[in-house]
Chains A and B, each alone.
Chain A
């Protein structure tokens, strides 16, 4: 399944700009389309569309959400095992890894710049030990407490 753009599209290109896999095609002020072979179902297009012109993978119309209200990954460092799967799976390459706990040699994931994160939740979905939950935004930038 993949996301789709309905005829309500006004061609504002907001979805095209944010799509991490360049799956959206169309000229400015014209109807845009999603290449279903490339779409990875991250849902970012639906969250930025100003006219509710995006259907999700089960056919429901998505709603625009203000970017500051998007859910962002929150890492439970007691559960995380530093495998790096979240970093690899992130289509926006928004996560990074660094030492954060004192006297702990493991590098845990963190979000250096929240504005890059699209809130797709793939990191939380793919985490083998469920150490990531999607939660409210904390601030403009997270800095790891490097040791």
Chain B
């Protein structure tokens, strides 16, 4: 990830068109991928995002990350535009762009099957775009393993703009580490915790404890409990109770290579516009857009994939859709800096609101949150980061406290280390003492860095990504999450009753800690010198 930040910062000229030839699209593996460490099979797609016009990144798992390394490289970068559809084929001997006319127009699952079947190697892995990327939908992603998606930031459209249908990797190179035995030792410690299942905490008891904590005024620091996003976007957000239809929608989007999070927001946005009379049946070919109607959801998804009618308006995300529709519909568009947030309600955890707003790729739920910080348990391995007490008063989350920004700063730095290492965020929720990223990195590279030095590297990567945004004319304040994500207007009933996030104070504290101007978020002179020295 640090490699991508460096390459993109230098190689993409200021204010370059994200869908033009000057944009650089990068596919990078993790430093720890394939070394025998656990949870380290993540890879990232990076580039200038057409959705936010700033730093774009999307993270994905599966088998593609080791495949990049088995070709003998750490990352693959593309610049320019091909006149005809092509795909990249790489094996141990060659790297060549091949004609993709036969597969252009096919969905992601079909494309992957065709390319694997036609490959001369048994070790073939594929990442590709579906029809959404080809049609330059700004909410399209890159698909692999017939259903995994590097979905965020609209980087599928960048791939489509370059007429690059797929990457086919068939390398067989070995992935070496400095000290494989030490890596294995650390992996065994990690595995011990993965296998750990407390027999005295059955699910029903946990559900009872969860329900109890919800009504109590105090909270408990999270420790090692994983959560899972399913398709809440197609269920709760659209008020759809038909579970089977949710699986179907997911399959449609996976095949088309469209981001399920952003597409779900676009559909919900259309429903609300229709409810308020901003959209009418005249724009929807007579189709009534009613909350919870699976047929209406299916209609909108298919229209978005094909870019027909109302779908053409929605297929570029809610911010652009609101600009196209007008009529104050921007009040209904849920986004931060142009990117739709996930299902993680920032009114419950203001850390989400902060990370949605201040990160170089805004609106991504994996950027950080305070409950993520609780689970990372960084204070057990890193000096000078705030400790979280096991019990706290819930209302303290909404009060001014510099420790909030300190937690988020450490969160951002750690995330950059994790993304650079290829570590899965769910795995890192085991806690930094159980999943020993810093020690793995030393064992894999032969370096002798302390955790604090790795956090400083994470800080440098954050500075580069932030400087990338400044270079491309993104003003940090423009990425602020929309009002409804912050509890404006404040709710008078329900789970979020009275919850409002004072985002301006949090953003200013966070910017100051990174050496950015308190008012504008632009790096101060001293920080600019630092960025110049690291870039």
Binding site for B on A (CB under 8 A): 20-23, 35, 38, 40-41, 81, 83, 85, 88-89, 91-93, 122, 125-126, 128-130
Contact = CB atoms under 8 A, between A and B. Distances in A.
A126 B183 CA distance: 10
B183 A128 contact: yes
Nearest to B187: A128
Interface stretch (B188-196, B263-271, B395-403, B404-412): B188-196
B187 A129 contact: yes
Question: What DSSP secondary structure best describes chain B's contact surface?
Answer: loop
Contacts of A126: 36
B174 interface: yes
Contact of A41 (B36, B174, B195): B174
Contacts of A35: 93
A143 B408 CA distance: 51
Contact of A88 (B37, B66, B180): B66
B188 A40 contact: no
Interface string B225-255: 0000000000000000000000000000000
Interface string B121-136: 0110000000000000
A91 B171 CA distance: 9
Interface string B169-191: 00011100000100110011001
A85 B93 CA distance: 24
A69 B183 CA distance: 32
A9 B286 CA distance: 77
A112 to B, nearest CB: 13
B92 A21 contact: yes
Contacts of A41: 174
A128 B92 contact: no
Interface string B83-96: 00000000111000
B174 A40 contact: yes
B9 to A, nearest CB: 31
Interface in B39-67: 63, 66
A74 B183 CA distance: 22
* Closest 6 pairs (CB-CB, A-B): A128-B187, A21-B172, A93-B122, A38-B92, A128-B36, A91-B172
Nearest to A38: B92
B178 to A, nearest CB: 15
Nearest to A21: B172
Given A20-B172, A128-B188, A83 B92 contact: no
Contacts of A89: 34
Contacts of A88: 34, 63, 66
15 contacts: A20-B172, A21-B173, A23-B92, A35-B93, A38-B93, A38-B173, A40-B173, A41-B174, A85-B34, A85-B36, A88-B34, A88-B66, A93-B122, A125-B180, A130-B184
A128 B174 CA distance: 15
B66 A122 contact: no
B146 to A, nearest CB: 16
Given A20-B172, A21-B172, A122-B174, A128 B38 contact: yes
A81 B36 contact: no
Interface string B300-326: 000000000000000000000000000
Interface size bracket, B side:
20 to 34
Contacts of A93: 122-123
Contacts of A21: 92, 172-173
Contacts of B37: 128
A81 B195 contact: yes
Contacts of B93: 22, 35, 38
Nearest to A94: B122
A92 B92 CA distance: 14
A113 B172 CA distance: 20
Given A23-B92, A81-B195, A92-B122, A129 B188 contact: yes
Contacts of B195: 81
Of B36, B63, B188, B195, chain A has the most CB atoms within 10 Å of the CB of B36
B144 to A, nearest CB: 14
A13 B493 CA distance: 78
A25 B367 CA distance: 49
Of B91, B92, B188, B194, chain A has the most CB atoms within 10 Å of the CB of B92
A109 B444 CA distance: 25
A83 B424 CA distance: 13
A91 B184 CA distance: 21
A80 to B, nearest CB: 10
Nearest to A122: B174
A75 B187 CA distance: 18
A128 B186 CA distance: 9
A121 B448 CA distance: 30
A21 B226 CA distance: 40
Given A91-B123, A129-B184, 7 more contacts: A21-B172, A23-B92, A35-B93, A92-B122, A125-B180, A126-B36, A130-B184
Contacts of B38: 83, 128
Interface in B146-204: 172-174, 180, 183-184, 187-188, 191, 194-195
Contacts of A128: 36-38, 183-184, 187-188, 191
A81 B191 contact: yes
A1 to B, nearest CB: 11
A38 B172 CA distance: 8
Contacts of B63: 88
Of A83, A85, A88, chain B has the most CB atoms within 10 Å of the CB of A88
